[in-house]
Amino acid sequence: MDKRMSIDEVVERIPNGATVAIGGSSISRKPMALVRALARSDRRDLTVIVDVGGPDVDLLLGTGRVAEVIYAFVGFEVLGLAPHFRRARQSQAIRFQEWTEYTVMAGLDAKIKRIPFMPTHATLGTDVLRVNPSFREINDPFGEETLVAVPALKPDVALIHVNYADIQGNGVILGDGHVDVLCAKAAKETFMSCERILSSEELQRFGRDVQILRVYSRGVVEIPWGAHPTGCAPDYRTDLRHLQDYLKAASSEEGWRQYESEFVDVDHPQYLTNHGGPEELVSRLKV
Amino acid sequence: MDKRMSIDEVVERIPNGATVAIGGSSISRKPMALVRALARSDRRDLTVIVDVGGPDVDLLLGTGRVAEVIYAFVGFEVLGLAPHFRRARQSQAIRFQEWTEYTVMAGLDAKIKRIPFMPTHATLGTDVLRVNPSFREINDPFGEETLVAVPALKPDVALIHVNYADIQGNGVILGDGHVDVLCAKAAKETFMSCERILSSEELQRFGRDVQILRVYSRGVVEIPWGAHPTGCAPDYRTDLRHLQDYLKAASSEEGWRQYESEFVDVDHPQYLTNHGGPEELVSRLKV
Amino acid sequence: MPLMSEFSVDEVIITTMARQLKGEVLVSSVTAFGSLAAHLAKRLYAPDLAVLSTPESGMDVTPMPTLTLGQFLTDVQQGIPLTMEDIFDAIFTDHFRIWINPSQIDQYGNTNITCIGDWSRPKVALVGARGIPEDTSHLSETFYYILNHSPRSVVQHVDFRSGAGNGESRQHLGPHGAPTTLVTDLGVFDFRGPQGQMTIKSLHPGVSLEEVQERTGFPIGGGEGDILSTPPPTADDIRLIREADPLEVRKLELMSGPMAAEKFVNIYERERQTLHATYPRVGKLGRG
Amino acid sequence: MPLMSEFSVDEVIITTMARQLKGEVLVSSVTAFGSLAAHLAKRLYAPDLAVLSTPESGMDVTPMPTLTLGQFLTDVQQGIPLTMEDIFDAIFTDHFRIWINPSQIDQYGNTNITCIGDWSRPKVALVGARGIPEDTSHLSETFYYILNHSPRSVVQHVDFRSGAGNGESRQHLGPHGAPTTLVTDLGVFDFRGPQGQMTIKSLHPGVSLEEVQERTGFPIGGGEGDILSTPPPTADDIRLIREADPLEVRKLELMSGPMAAEKFVNIYERERQTLHATYPRVGKLGRG
């Protein structure tokens, strides 16, 4: 089955109010081209699930697409805090659920295994358990232990970006896998952008680096630089310059409007052109 | 750390009454050289945990080493039933716990994640739930569902056989991984035999085929043909001829005594010699 | 067994099995019949199937029914390697299909591969429930085949429920995992009885209702009115099955006793040569 | 900050961190300080450590403190790739160590990276608890470092417990995950108080007890009698740190404001060239 589609076709499959899980980790391998398309769409009231969020969550908050965020972390790593996330948290503009890295994984895994919850000791003794409205304390049926029941997370859609894919929807991830496989398996529909589409034969040569299995993919979009400004190892490193500009832009209303018009409200080819084109990106970001 | 040891040193680390998890699957990649050494030792009252057992379980039963078997399956695949297992089950000579493929995995995973149980729907509506003394029915804390709580399985020792390893205890598995990684992570001490020891540099080139991480390995033994008579893809296929002879031998007391003296109560070099030597095995079993 | 001039009963069964498979799901090929059904389905009926070479090893390779479950072919052809976790995640998310060959199946579709007689003191200890409990609590389609339809294999009550059928077994289970289809050497059966009991869907060419009833351990429904005849294999079906299984590994599943042993040895000797000829060993060590 | 003629405070801190690491465990190197401590420990103090290039990516490669968390180095040097599941399994089985750099730590060793002020209406929203709850419920040793010891970072009560310390936080937890060591720019602290409160273990060369008390948000114990002096870095320690971090990425963690921004840009420009020179890109596509 040929699952290739366009960026816009992916956005069309995401309704208002959808729960969207996003792969990658902070400033690494985020499906930013898909996220930008969603950010400039008129979708609203999305619930976003991330394990480790970054510019993805921040951008969707910045353009007002989000009603709730479920997260273990949202930040820009070495660059500091996520400006729209920080503002939204402080102004209580939307809902936030404080999870943790493993509990997000456990929640997705519970959905995959069709069980209502996964037990863990994680979050006991912390305030995450106090402020998270979804967790429950339970007792071990075999003994005396107190455990936390982490409920299943049920994304409607997963968005991930991979190095290579075939048209059938198998995907190769060469660097950190992050929680992409869990997102892909847990979501009702998974859409995957990739740096390059390869033949299925070429793809099979990657062996266990073929981490996304086609039975879980609904659509594949070939988008070179599709993770930019986050990194996509080993193809390109994180564009910390661009992210610095992002942070500066997000600090004023005018700056943000300017950023949006230049880097959000444009299609992907124009986005690359506004960075001086792929050649310029190669010279700065390929190692 | 150089973790190389001899077969006998591995057996020395397994006390009477130990719980031993064995990797591989039925007639594939069983750590048979280690199992044979255990079978000819004077160890007793072992509890054996297997997901899919075969000649490993059968041999340890045949030489009287075992007090209890926890298993999802014990058999010789295309060749039929496991003779000593069958006899022991029918004569109620020792204890047996009926588990299933996923619940064994879940029990090991619970141990790894230091939780007392994993919830699942598997075994509901079956007699496994009725006869398994370890499982409990529980209620979903979030809803009305009935679930099965699978308790943690806690092996003292894991025995696995891999294609290649380094002296630090990293292991490469090229074919099916079966439940070897779960066994290695769950056990207090994991001992690994391998077809060949490679340098750590060579080993790293296998990427994600390096499935056993050295932090989980206690000892490494280089034993070419260490899985024989089970197969070790892609190095050699299952020796169905030998297994047919095994089945025939196990059908009479005299046959079994003969088999033991020729193939169990001998060290590994003699074992290979009694098969006509490695060259003979190559000609029959390498593809 | 009915006589068929142009095709044999194994070919009718495999073709029927193949025609049940559909969609984009992983298909296990752990038995010769299951393997050939998956292969045939992929070629003719359901091109999106992701066929596994063995239950947990390689996806999207052409499986061959070998005595050692195709483990070599997997490696040599590569395919996409899966883990056991991948397999069970595919079961839990209903992206998996398997043709299960139970020792007993009963009127509710409960199945047994564990023991004959009482579990705690079995007359015959078989192999254990393996992964059947997982299949019968999670898959939206569960498929069974039995090659020797008899009152000992198609029974009123299984001695042990390794797999959950309809009726009482569904008490704590939803519809997921309920039995879908049974194919035997006599016909095709589904589970449309009032409490999900087994009913006749079609009979293979030349099989009579009386014969089915005689060889079934309980009064079977669905025999009222006109009974459909199982659509026979086409020339393409037959050709593909024979090409894919030149050593006739599938025939072993139909045999027992000395005949089986002889054929087994014969296949085992020829298998290695065939593998050598078809897939010359690639000398490789690690990546790049 | 005390003046030191032969080494700087970051080198004291990193050396002290390195000397805490032992055994055969995975060591995260997610920050420059953590990365350099892991590297130094592996070279001089604990050769069996399995150092990760980033938290979940490559095992047994030499990590370098890069701005983008070393993701390229991982790939180019390969190492043994791990999954997030591997990382958390290592945490749960206590085969993992990490130096955590919290925004706040309190007298019981509770730590905060989530928010300043009340969670539901924070004065400053930080980043979320990330994986700290997992560490503080499972690891037999949990390590913290803080580079600017002050009453705002070493506090009586954290505003939010991202990580579980001693005292009340241990109610449903065993000893696993309890705080072991805090290293700051002033000294080394452990948790030997009656209810596991923070106590002084040693002070860095030139640091006084008064200074520590002044810059700590609660009365700190362990200052009775002779106070140990933190063993200084050796010439080897210093050399290895400087060799491993020629661009001085570690200095960024000590800075803020315009100086940090300037250094940041400077490092970012030079980093790529350094990577190019050190690890020429290997053109590879897939296996074999």
pLDDT digits (tens, 9 = 90+) for C184-242: 999 999 999 999 999 999 999 999 999 999 999 999 998 888 899 999 999 999 999 99
* Chain C: residue whose CA lies nearest to B177: C83
Give the distance from residue D287's alpha carbon to the nearest chain C alpha carbon, in angstroms. 4
Asked whether residue D74 carries a pLDDT value surpassing 70, the answer given is no
B240–C268 CB contact, under 8 Å: yes
Structure confidence by residue, pLDDT tens digits, C19-49:
999 999 999 878 889 989 999 999 999 999 9
Confidence of residue C78 (pLDDT cuts 50, 70, 90): low
Measured in whole angstroms, how far is the alpha carbon of residue D42 from the centre of its chain? 15
D91 touches chain B (CB under 8 A): no
The residue ranking higher by pLDDT, C56 or B162, is: B162
What is residue C89's predicted lDDT score, i.e. its pLDDT?
98
Residues of B in contact with C250 (CB under 8 A): none
Whole-number Å distance between alpha carbons of A193 and A30: 10
- Can you tell me the distance from the alpha carbon of D231 to that of D227, in angstroms, rounded to the nearest whole number? 12
Is D260's pLDDT higher than 90? no
**Does C24 contact A1 at a Cβ distance shorter than 8 Å?**
yes
More confident residue, C60 or B72: B72
Q: Is C155 helix (H, G, I), strand (E, B) or coil?
A: strand
Element housing B91 (H / E): helix B83-91
Please name the helix (run of DSSP H) or strand (run of DSSP E) that holds residue B117, with its range, or none. Answer: strand B117-120
The dihedral formed by the CA atoms of B217, B222, B224 and B229, expressed in degrees to the nearest 10 = -40
* Å between A179 CA and nearest CA of chain D: 7
Q: How far apart are CA B149 and CA B170, in angstroms?
A: 33
The overall average pLDDT reported for chain B is 96
pLDDT confidence of residue C285:
37
Chains near D with 3+ CB pairs less than 8 A apart are A, B, C
Residue B120 has pLDDT above 80, yes or no: yes
Distance set, CA B171 to CA B20, B144, D59, D77 (Å): 19, 44, 13, 19
Measured in angstroms, the CA of A156 and the nearest CA of chain B are apart by 20
* CB of A199 less than 8 A from some CB of C: no
pLDDT band at D282 (very low <50, low <70, confident <90, very high): very low
Tens digit of each residue's pLDDT (9 = 90 or more) over B208-234: 999 999 999 999 999 999 999 999 988
What residues in B contact D60, CB-CB < 8 Å?
A: 200, 204
Is residue C59's pLDDT more than 90?
Answer: no
Contact B234 C272 (CB under 8 A): no
Q: Are C27 and C21 contacting, i.e. CB atoms less than 8 angstroms apart?
A: yes
Q: Is the pLDDT of residue C69 over 60?
A: no
Average pLDDT, chain C: 88
pLDDT band with cut points at 50, 70 and 90 for residue B35? very high
With an 8 Å Cβ cutoff, are D93 and B214 in contact?
no
Q: What is the pLDDT of residue C63?
A: 66
Residues of C in contact with D282 (CB under 8 A): 288
> Which pair of structure tokens corresponds to residue C279?
């897939």
Give domain limits for chain B.
7-98+154-240, 116-151
- A174 part of contact set with chain D, CB < 8 Å: yes
> What pLDDT is recorded for position D1?
39
ipTM, 2 dp:
0.96
CA distance A40 to A64: 10
For residue C3, give both structure tokens: 């006589």
The residue among C33, C35, C71, C282 with the most chain B CBs within 10 A of its CB, best to mutate, is C71
Point out the residues of chain A with pLDDT beneath 50: none
pLDDT cut 70: percent of chain C above it: 87
User: How big, in percent rounded to 5, are the helix, strand and coil portions of chain A?
Assistant: 35, 25, 40
Please report residues of C whose CB lies closer than 8 A to that of A208. Answer: 81
Which of A102, A208, A245 is most worth mutating to test chain D (most D CB atoms within 10 A of its CB)? A102
Q: Out of C58-67, D23-32, D257-266, which region has the weakest mean confidence (pLDDT)?
A: C58-67
Do A115 and B121 lie within an 8 Å CB cutoff?
A: yes
| Nearest CA-CA distance, residue A152 and chain B, Å | 10
- Which C residues 183-202 touch B at CB under 8 Å? none
Of residues B112, B113, B214, nearest to D50 (C-beta): B214
8 Å CB contact of A119 and B119? yes
Please report where in the chains the tokens 């007002």 appear, as a residue. Answer: A64
> Which of the residues B109, B121, B129, B136 would you substitute to probe the C interface, choosing the one with the greatest number of C C-beta atoms within 10 Å?
B121
Cα–Cα distance measured from residue B197 to residue B218, given in angstroms and rounded to the nearest whole number: 15
The chain D residue lying nearest C283, using CA atoms, is D288
The better pLDDT of the pair C286, B158 is held by B158
Cβ-nearest to B142 among A119, A136, A142: A136
C24 touches chain A (CB under 8 A): yes
Contacts of B282 (CB under 8 A, 6+ apart): B236
Chains that touch A (3 or more CB pairs under 8 A): B, C, D
Average the pLDDT over each of B41-50, B67-76, B224-233, C66-75 and give the range with the smallest value. Answer: C66-75
Query: Which residue would you say has higher pLDDT here, C254 or D89?
Result: D89
C248 reaches A (C-beta below 8 A): no
Q: Round the average pLDDT of chain D to a whole number and report it.
A: 88
Contact B70, B49 (CB under 8 A): yes
* HEC readout, chain D: CCCCCCCCHHHHHHHHHHHHCCCCCEECCCCHHHHHHHHHHHHHHCCCCEEECCCCCEECCCCCCCCCCCHHHHHHHCCEECCHHHHHHHHHCCCEECEECCCEEECCCCEECCEECCCCCCCEECCCCCCHHHHHHHCCCEEEEECCCCCCCEECCCCCCCECCCHHHHCCCCCCCCEEEEEECCEEEECCCCCCCCEEEEECCCCCHHHHHHCCCCCCECCCCCCEECCCCCHHHHHHHHHHCCCCHHHHCCCCHHHHHHHHHHHHHHHHHHHHHHCCCCCCCCCC
- Residue A181: CB partners within 8 Å, gap ≥ 6? A211, A212, D83
What is the model's pLDDT at position D67? 72
Does the CB of C284 have a partner CB in chain D at under 8 Å?
yes
Task: Output the pLDDT for position A284.
Answer: 86
Helices C9-20 and C32-40 sit at what angle, rounded to 10 degrees? 60
Which class for D262: exposed (0-12), middle (13-18), buried (19 or more C-beta within 10 A)? exposed
State percent of chain D over pLDDT 90.
67
| Closest-approach residue (CA) in chain C for B283 | C272
Contact D29/A at CB under 8 A: no
| Model confidence at C282: pLDDT above 70 | no
- Are residues D93 and B170, on separate chains, in Cβ contact within 8 Å? no
B75/C128 Cβ within 8 A = yes
Residues of chain B found within 8 Å of residue A208, distances taken between Cβ atoms: 207-209
- Give the residues across from C157 on adjacent strands: none
For C97-106, write each residue's pLDDT tens digit.
999 999 999 9
- Work out the pLDDT band at C268, boundaries 50, 70, 90: confident
Contacts of C114 in chain B (CB under 8 A): 98, 127-128
Among C282, C284, C288, the residue with its CB nearest the CB of D284 is C288
Q: Chain C closest CA to B45's CA: distance in Å?
A: 20
Q: Chain C partners of D287 at a C-beta cutoff of 8 Å?
A: 284, 286-288
> Residue A117 and residue B151: Cβ atoms within 8 Å?
no
Q: Which pLDDT does position D163 carry in this prediction?
A: 98
Residue from A187, A286, B121, D98 nearest C135 by CA? B121
Strand partners, A197: A165
pLDDT of residue D221 exceeding 50, the answer is: yes
Q: How many CB atoms lie within 10 A of CB C59?
A: 25
Averaged pLDDT, B37-64: 98
Cis peptide before B234 (omega within 30 of 0): yes
Residue of C nearest to D78 (CA): C287
Q: Provide the CA D78 distance to its chain's centre, in angstroms.
A: 24
CB contact under 8 A, D89 and B205: no
Pairing mode of beta strands B210-212, B171-172: antiparallel
Q: Does A188 touch chain C (CB under 8 A)?
A: no
CB distance C56 to C29 below 8 Å: no
Residue D55: the pLDDT is 46
DSSP class of residue B222 equals E
pLDDT at C64 over 90: no
D224 shares contact with chain B (CB less than 8 Å): no
Q: Which two tokens stand for residue A285?
A: 């970001």
Name the phi and psi angles at A135, rounded to 5: -80, 155
Helix (H, G, I), strand (E, B) or coil at C49: coil
Beta carbons of D66 and D34 less than 8 angstroms apart: no
Number of alpha carbons in the 13 Å side-chain half-sphere of residue A14: 33
Edge-first strand order for the sheet with D228-229 is D99-100, D142-146, D179-184, D187-190, D199-203, D228-229
CATH architecture of C9-275: 3-Layer(aba) Sandwich (3.40)
User: Are D89 and B112 a contacting pair at CB < 8 A?
Assistant: yes
Query: Is the separation of the CB atoms in D71 and D79 below 8 Å?
Result: no
The CATH class that applies to domain B7-98+154-240 reads alpha beta
Secondary structure E strands in A204-246:
210-212, 219-222
Asked whether the bond before C179 is cis by omega within 30 degrees of 0, the reply is no
* C128 at interface of B, judged by CB pairs closer than 8 A: yes
Residues of B within an 8 Å Cβ radius of A: 113-121, 136, 138, 140-143, 145, 147, 149, 151, 207-209
With CA atoms as reference, the chain A residue closest to D158 would be A127
